[in-house]
Amino acid sequence: MFHTTLDHHRWVFEDLKSLLAKATPARSGDRLAGIAAGSAEERVAALYCLSELPLKTFLNETVIPYELDEVTRLIQDSHDATAFVAISHLTVGEFRDFLLSDAARPAMLERLAPAITPEMAAAVSKLMRNQDLITVARRCRVVTRFRNTIGLPGTMAVRLQPNHPTDDRRGVAASVIDGLSYGCGDAVIGINPASDSVPTMDELARLFDGIIHQLDLPTQACVLAHVTTSIELIERGAPVDLVFQSIAGTETANRGFGIDLGLIAEGRAAALSLDRGTIGNNVMYFETGQGSALSAGAHHGVDQQTLEARAYGVARAYDPLLVNSVVGFIGPEYLYDGKEIVRAGLEDHFCGKLLGLPMGVDVCYTNHVEADQNDMDTLLTLLGVAGVNFVIGVPGADDVMLNYQSTSFHDQLYLRSVLGLRRAPEFEAWMQRMGMTDRHGALIDGHAPLDNAFGRLLA
């Protein structure tokens, strides 16, 4: 039990998960779960109490019992006690002050990452304003490699997302052509297939492999199928670069996805066996989103932002190339409006980076949420300042297969222009060799070197 007294009123919080939930900035998902603070006064009291909590508390008390949940066991068993010594004397509030101090430089934050549990990251984020989340995330450098290098300072990559409502080969290829012409695709060419047919996914994997080899393109591809399907594709000889899986922060929610930690490890081992990376072996691509555990009835009374951080605890066990928070995708039941989406996007990016993950964010919303493209422009800009590793590029910002609004091929050009962000260096060198960009990375109007290759792809 935790308690604090403010203005002669004693506030009591039953346990750690209750304290974390009451301290969370307001959002619809926690209200739906019945765990949000009942008033602004209760939220402030929870924040006071949380700020005085020693970080060691998170090693002695879990939000979901160790015996009941393999994600809790993964978090507790993989904690780096040696690295934790440097911050073991701090409270959550003191940890926030340290992260915002000049002492918290990139190299130190990298060393501390394995000492920080997801619950610690979630707790300190609740004490932070948006500018604090941006300041610290910008200092966290997480670099990964497969056929190019993602996450270097001053760069931002883009996942080229050529989704098509019928997985039509020509339609998918046309979207890839369109995206590459705008300089998108250095994070990954990654499609959400409409079909769950293994032959169709095999065909898509071979289409992307053909594009990459025909153009000598220094990037990687991914068909975002279930991990069991990716394993089957590998067994039948398909050219699989990255293995994808949606993950959540509880064992029960992951079971709803049809996975457990052992299955993820099996998928990673299958991808590593192909040895397709040319400069690195980060072979996993994970997606997450606040509210996934609640929507599966698997939240255990824990707030959705803490559970999102626990999903990152799952991801970092498998050394991924990319982790993507689809922050506004799940809908207004979990993040009601633009304000809640912006806050959640910054929290997700901060927590993931603090835990040592290569975080990207799908800056997105569904058409029944109280948000619009201006809200997305705000979040995209803030994430660019915060040093996001990658964002999403969809033709026209309108995903015609998943039916939601994301960021367009043009949006990344805006962000590169206002913040001076470059592409992954290998990808940018390729674009210059192809005559598509100048030495500053700016697109050259009327470039035509890809026309013939694209014509062959569409034939």
Phi-psi region of 407 (alpha: psi -120 to 50; beta: other; left: phi over 0): beta
Query: In a 3-state reduction of DSSP, which class is residue 294?
Result: helix
H helix runs in 143-278, sequence order: 169-181, 198-214, 227-235, 251-256, 261-274
Backbone angles phi, psi at 6, to 5 degrees: -130, 125
Flag whether 282 is marked binding: no
CA distance 293 to 151: 29
User: Residue 391 forms beta bridges with which residues?
Assistant: 158
Flag whether 373 is marked binding: no
Query: In a 3-state reduction of DSSP, which class is residue 84?
Result: helix
Q: Is 393 exposed, middle or buried (0-12, 13-18, 19+ CB in 10 A)?
A: buried
Flag whether 160 is marked binding: yes
The residue to which tokens 């909590």 are assigned = 53
CA distance 54 to 38: 25
Flag whether 193 is marked binding: yes
Flag whether 401 is marked binding: yes
Cα angle for residues 265, 269, 273 (degrees, 5° grid):
175
CA distance 431 to 434: 5
- Asked if residue 130 lies in contact with residue 382, where contact means CB atoms within 8 angstroms, the answer is yes
Q: Give the DSSP letter string of 105-163.
A: -HHHHHHHGGG--HHHHHHHHHT--HHHHHHHHHH----EESSSEE--TTB-EEEE---
Flag whether 68 is marked binding: no
Flag whether 159 is marked binding: yes
Sheet-wide strand order for 221-223: 221-223, 188-191, 157-160, 390-393, 359-361, 322-325, 284-288, 243-246
CA dihedral angle for residue 54, residue 312, residue 327, residue 269, rounded to 10 degrees: 180
Flag whether 192 is marked binding: yes
Flag whether 105 is marked binding: no
CA distance 113 to 412: 29
Flag whether 359 is marked binding: no
CA distance 94 to 54: 9
Binding site members: 159-161, 192-193, 245, 287, 295, 362, 401
Binding site members for substrate: 159-161, 192, 287, 362
Binding site members for adenosylcob(III)alamin: 193, 245, 295, 401
